[in-house]
């Protein structure tokens, strides 16, 4: 893993449907937001608001669940998320990362512009197609 100073200075975001509080820790080894029945070995985060919005909008939970974007502080080393950088966006333009160390919630964005319903439905359809083709595996 690479240190936060070398890789990216942030700010960092985590999008989810989980209702959390400032000061809470996000930690690995919890149910994956994106693959049913999987326990994630990492906690994932990003330095772009757009990627955090996708995280909140596509996270596991009911459609009615409130979506949250938290501003987080990595408490240890982290690395590029290979699920994004190695598969879809070489060079990591989404500034997507993962860590085996906790992230501390330091704030929550109170308002943000969601993707359109059409864009979300398109993304869900694309993800479903990847699953059907066996290409939606997560390196974890």
- Name which of 1, 7, 9, 12 is nearest 73 in CA terms: 12
pLDDT tens figures, 33-70: 666 677 788 999 999 999 999 999 988 777 778 999 99
* Residue found under tokens 């990003």: 46
Domains of the chain, CATH where assigned:
4-132 (3.20.170.40)
> What's the rounded Cα separation, in Å, for the pair 15 and 44?
9
For residues 32 and 117, give the distance between their C-alpha atoms in angstroms, rounded to a whole number. Answer: 23
- For the chain, give the percent of residues with pLDDT over 70: 81
This prediction has a pTM of: 0.83
């Amino acid at each position: 893993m690479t240190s936060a100073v070398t890789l990216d200075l942030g700010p960092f975001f985590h999008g989810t449907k989980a209702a959390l509080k400032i000061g809470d820790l996000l930690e690995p080894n919890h149910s994956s937001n994106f693959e049913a029945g999987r326990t994630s070995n990492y906690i994932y985060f990003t330095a772009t608001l757009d990627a955090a919005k996708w995280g909140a909008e596509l996270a596991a939970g009911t459609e009615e669940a409130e979506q949250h974007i938290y501003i987080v502080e990595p408490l240890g080393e982290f690395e590029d998320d290979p699920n994004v950088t190695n598969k879809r966006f070489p060079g990591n333009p989404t500034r997507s990362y993962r860590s085996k160390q906790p992230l501390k919630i330091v704030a929550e964005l109170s308002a943000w512009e969601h993707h359109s319903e059409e864009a979300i439905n398109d993304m869900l359809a694309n993800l479903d197609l990847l699953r059907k083709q066996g290409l939606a595996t997560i390196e974890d």
